[in-house]
A and B are shown apart, each in its own frame.
Chain A
Amino acid sequence: MTTETLASTVSAVPILDLRDVEKQYGPVRALKPLTLSFMPGEVHAIVGENGAGKSTLIKVLTGVVKKTSGTMFWRGTEVSLENPADAIAIGINAVHQEVVLCPHLTVAANIFLGDEVLKGGLLRKKEMITRAQAILNDIGFDIPADVQLGSLTIGQQQLVATARASVRGTKFLIFDEPTAYLTRQEADQLFKLIRRLKADGVTIVYISHRMEEVFELADRVSVLRDGNFVGTRNIDETNNAELVTLMINRSLEQIYHKEKVAFGSEVLSTRALTGTGFADIDLTVRQGEIVGLYGLIGAGRSEFALSLFGRNPSTSGEIKWHGKPIAIRDVRTAIDLGIALAPESRRDQGLNLNLPISLNINLPVYDTLQRGLTLNHRGEIDRAEKQIRDLAIKTPSRRSLASSLSGGNQQKIVIGKWLNHGAELFIFDEPTVGVDVGTKAEIYRLFGALLKRGAAIIVISSYLPEVYELADTLHVFRSGKQVGTHTYREKTEEEILALAIGV
């Protein structure tokens, strides 16, 4: 946006105006008095660490929770959002990180869910499919309207959710970490849609941990820290370093913390390893080494990791553990060898959300805690308390449910349950998705500590800066194949990205 148009939008009446809006949960002030205006047709990014108050702000804006005090003006008139229906009625909608649609219905049925096209009380399925397809084509999404939603990739489902939100007279659309599960192409389609909505005068609130997206899309950016509003900047008057400093009060160099450790002996190697979703993978990982696996989602990296961990055993090829050929047929074998996996999805694979933190942390080690007929409760408590202390997991108690924690703290549990377990090879699959900058830095420092202890690490990420900065050896995956192997900074980030996309 040019300076002139920006000036003109700023002088216009805000579409939504917050004055001293505050949210308290009991004695805790999750969102301290906040005064902020959103202009028609602007893309307004909101950044901050986990726990900064972004989620609370979204909930207040979408009517999920009621503000404790303060006033909100919608186009100059005071509004009170009692419930989500109120927000939707005036034109406020949100697209969440996790898709909340019906996987068993068609794409068209999902787009028209709650607003079906009827004739004489019966569904007009053909017409809905035609219209849904027109909408999808119009906004440039390459998705068929007549297939089951569940048959699409997570990224495509996310796009359908976006399409759904954008066609309902929405004037104010909130995106919460929309690209966490998108491939680069899908993200581009999404960005195209966002620019188009903006051109139509829709206000976009964009919440993301990925700074480059904020700079690519936003007109203005607001920073929250610990429930406080820190400030708003025009995007062309700020930079990455300033935003990060505002968010965390520490400098950027401290984040990608890389420990220089001399490599020891080989821990694991694979030769032509092939299984469902990947083929002919050759790699070696040594003590003190971080091996990075980069590729788009669906490139076969996670499938490869799961086969090393015995979840989906490989079908051919060879795995060597400390130089000796070995078959890893199940998870137990992998764990007993000394392999640990922090899986891709915290929610689906990593955590028992409705169980206590203590149980989650101890789950892999209960074998060693069983003393004859009963459990060593003291040991169980000590291990949990130790991990909570060592990893600085923010929780009132080890008995709190894992679901009550923020994303960053949940990720610490996913990782923490494998520490002090004697593992020699750690596989981290997307270790920092949805994790705030502060926790990210802590996780990277933890990698360093593990390396110094002589462990080997495999890091899988769709976020290039992460593996690019951390990995000693970087393997690039595309469509289940290994398409490149490079040492640290041997190629530029652009070259790696091009390799992964296949252009």
Chain B
Amino acid sequence: MATLESTEKPVSRKNYNLLFSLTLVGLLVALCAILSIATNTFATGNNIANLLRQGSMIAVLSIGQTFVIITAGIDLSVGAVVGFATVIIASLLQAGFPVWLAIIATLLVGLAIGVFHGFGIVKMGLPPFIITLATLTSLRGIGLLMTNGATINITHQGLAQFARDSFLGIPNLFWMVVVVAAPAYLLLEHTKWGRYLFAVGSNPEAARLSGVNVSKLIYLAYCVSAVSAAFVGVLLSARLGVGNATQGDGWELQAIASSVIGGTSLFGAVGSVQGPLIGAFILATINNGANLLNVNSFWQRIITGLLIIAIVYFDQLRRRGK
């Protein structure tokens, strides 16, 4: 590969990420501009607030998912964790626990699920795809058993109010994205653990021989993902006022799609926090716009699929350089 060293432009990951993020932002802005012209309902305060609320859930999920994908893993369970978390928090509130305690307990359940994934991968040697697929189906089952298939209503008014309210004109739910994204960004870009996550995703043996505790990092990634998903469960229960184990169906795929659209490589070691966020809101805007334009919702799914293919294809072309 003697020739490459002198011929390739400095493949700067930072600059590249920035460029890619800007392209994505450009796409998002273009989408918004087109929808503002094509409809008179898109550029209204109500609709934008609604779009931000819709996109927030998947955005938080995609951040957690990205941590896992950077280690060259996958977390298929996040949709099920969301549904399960709504059941947990709804049951706890119904049993009379204070809101703060119910939220903490729900997040701890998420943490336990993450630890279990880490255990399955590190100690039992199961592929991430398998262990998280197993939790996907089991958690739905456990949630349905706990509720006997019924929906638990949440009567707590404060929680519902929180989901409806805004702060500085921006919906609270969107602020929750910031609450998750800011520390996630710090962790990934500004700590040694962030560097280790990339190293583990790139070559676990080289990381191990450099003194990195690879097992610990795997636990970390799956815990971030599962706790993020449990947090989304809390947000969803606040927004809809119910706990039901079947909620969040297929959200794992939307989270993975957002992450991949945002430039994360399924082979590991490539990814950021900002990319998946933009990816999630691109998907939300498309769905929102399609609704406003009265496009058949079946078409939305097809458009999303084509978009994933197009964006990832162009991303790979550019990564290859020419």
Contact = CB atoms under 8 A, between A and B. Distances in A.
B192 A366 contact: yes
A503 interface: no
Interface string A369-400: 11001110100000000000000001111011
A359 B198 contact: yes
A362 interface: yes
Residue in B8, B12, B206 with the greatest tally of chain A CB atoms within 10 Å: B206
Contacts of A353: 202-203
Nearest to A355: B202
Given A355-B269, A364-B210, A375-B195, A55 B13 contact: no
Interface of B, helix, strand, loop or mixed by DSSP: helix
A343 B209 contact: yes
B196 to A, nearest CB: 7
A51 B5 contact: yes
Interface string B97-110: 00000000000000
Interface in B1-24: 1-15
Interface string B188-217: 001110111011001101111111110000
Interface residues of B, number: 37
Given A30-B2, A350-B206, A369 B13 contact: no
Residue in A30, A349, A404, A417 with the greatest tally of chain B CB atoms within 10 Å: A404
A55 B3 contact: yes
Interface in A337-373: 341, 343, 348-356, 359, 362-364, 366-367, 369-370, 373
A257 interface: no
Given A353-B202, A359-B198, A30 B208 contact: no
A366 B195 CA distance: 8
Interface stretch (A73-81, A122-130, A181-189, A405-413): A405-413
Contacts, number: 136
Contact of B213 (A332, A352, A354, A409): A332
How many A residues are at the interface, by size bracket?
A: 35 or more
B45 to A, nearest CB: 37
B209 A341 contact: yes
A373 B182 CA distance: 13
A297 interface: no
Interface in A395-432: 395-397, 399-401, 403-407, 409, 417
A23 to B, nearest CB: 8
B46 to A, nearest CB: 39
A87 interface: no
A56 B190 contact: no
Given A332-B213, A367-B192, A394-B5, 15 more contacts: A28-B6, A30-B3, A30-B6, A343-B209, A349-B209, A352-B198, A354-B270, A359-B198, A373-B186, A373-B191, A375-B195, A396-B5, A396-B8, A396-B10, A404-B1
Interface of A: 23, 25-26, 28, 30, 50-56, 309, 311, 331-332, 335, 341, 343, 348-356, 359, 362-364, 366-367, 369-370, 373-375, 377, 394-397, 399-401, 403-407, 409, 417
